[in-house]
Amino acid sequence: MFLESECQHLFVETNNIRLHCVTQGEGELVILLHGFPEFWYSWRYQIPVLARHFKVVVPDLRGYNDSDKPESGYDLDTLSADIRGLIDRLGYVKAHVVGHDWGGAIAWHLAQKFPQYLNRLAILNAPHPQRFVQEIASNLDQILRSWYIFAFQIPGIPEWLIQQNLKDFVKAALQGQAVRKGAFSAEETQIYQAALEKPGVVGAALNYYRQLFNSNSWNFGQKTDLVTSPTLVLWGEDDAFLSKKLTEGLDRLIAAPFQLKLVPHCGHWIQQEAPQTVNRELINFLRGY
Catalytic residue among 60, 82, 101, 239: 101
Q: Is 239 a catalytic residue?
A: no
Residues 165-201: tens digit of each pLDDT: 999 999 999 999 999 989 999 999 999 999 999 999 9
Are 147 and 242 in contact by the 8 Å Cβ rule? The answer is: no
Rounding to the nearest 10 degrees, give the CA dihedral for residues 50, 45, 10, 174. 140
Catalytic residue among 20, 117, 209, 239: 209
Number of residues that this document lists for the chain: 289
| Residue 140 CB coordination number (10 Å) | 8
**At how many degrees (to 10) do helices 102-113 and 76-89 cross?**
80
Q: Is 209 a catalytic residue?
A: yes
| Residue 284 CB coordination number (10 Å) | 12
Across all residues in the chain, what is the average pLDDT?
94
Q: Is 225 a catalytic residue?
A: no
Catalytic residue among 34, 109, 128, 268: 268
Measure the CA–CA gap between 143 and 246, rounded to whole angstroms: 12
Residues 128-171: tens digit of each pLDDT: 988 898 888 888 999 999 999 999 999 899 999 999 999 999 99
**Distances in whole angstroms, Cα of residue 107 to Cα of each of 25, 33, 51, 175, 236:** 21, 8, 20, 26, 18
Confidence (pTM): 0.96
